[in-house]
Amino acid sequence: MNAKTLLLPLLLFLAACSTAPTASPMFDPAKYGTAEVNIPYCAAEDNIVEPIEAPVQQMDVYYPASGGPWPVFVYVHGGSWMEGDKAEGEGWRGLNEQGFLVVSLNYRLSPINKFPTMIEDVKCAVRFLRAHAGDFNLDPDHIAALGASAGGHLVALLGVADESAGWDVEYYAEQSSRVQAVITIAGFFDFSQKIPGGVGTPIYTAFGALAGTDSPKLTAASPITYVTPDDPPFLIFHGTRDNIAPPEQSRIMDEQLRAAGVPSTIIMVEGGDHGLGGPDANPSPSEVYEMIVNFLTAQLKNN
> 3-state class of 120 per DSSP?
helix
Q: Tell me the percentage of the chain whose pLDDT exceeds 70.
A: 88
Check residue 44 and give its pLDDT.
Answer: 45
Check residue 119 and give its pLDDT.
Answer: 98
pLDDT confidence band for 138 (50 / 70 / 90): very high
Largest distance between two CA atoms of the chain: 81
Q: Tell me the percentage of the chain whose pLDDT exceeds 90.
A: 84
Check residue 55 and give its pLDDT.
Answer: 58
47 contacts 113 by C-beta, under 8 angstroms: yes
pLDDT confidence band for 303 (50 / 70 / 90): confident
The CATH T-level fold of domain 28-301 is Rossmann fold (3.40.50)
Residue 11: is it exposed, middle or buried by C-beta count within 10 angstroms (0-12/13-18/19+)?
exposed
Distances (CA, A) of 238 to 120, 172, 229: 25, 34, 23
pLDDT confidence band for 43 (50 / 70 / 90): low
Check residue 4 and give its pLDDT.
Answer: 38
Check residue 198 and give its pLDDT.
Answer: 87
Residue 200 has pLDDT above 60, yes or no: yes
**Which of these ranges, 45-59, 83-97, 139-153, 195-209, has the smallest mean pLDDT?**
45-59
Q: What is the mean pLDDT of residues 176-191?
A: 98
Check residue 170 and give its pLDDT.
Answer: 83
> 3-state class of 105 per DSSP?
strand
Residue 50 has pLDDT above 80, yes or no: no
Mean pLDDT of the chain: 90
Residue 242 has pLDDT above 90, yes or no: yes
What is the residue-wise DSSP string for 223-279? GGGG--TTPPPEEEEEETT-SSS-HHHHHHHHHHHHHTT--EEEEEEBT--TTS--T
User: Which is nearest to 117 in space by CA: 166, 73, 52?
Assistant: 166
Check residue 51 and give its pLDDT.
Answer: 37
Q: What is the mean pLDDT of residues 115-141?
A: 97
pLDDT confidence band for 17 (50 / 70 / 90): very low
- What are the pLDDT digits (tens) for 147-176? 999 999 999 999 999 999 999 988 999 999
Is the whole-model pTM more than 0.85? Answer: yes
Q: What is the mean pLDDT of residues 52-66?
A: 82
Q: What is the mean pLDDT of residues 52-71?
A: 86
Q: What is the mean pLDDT of residues 37-56?
A: 60
Q: Which residue has the higher pLDDT, 19 or 261?
A: 261
pLDDT confidence band for 277 (50 / 70 / 90): very high
CA distance 96 to 104: 13
Q: Which residue has the higher pLDDT, 293 or 8?
A: 293
How does DSSP classify residue 114? -
Check residue 42 and give its pLDDT.
Answer: 83
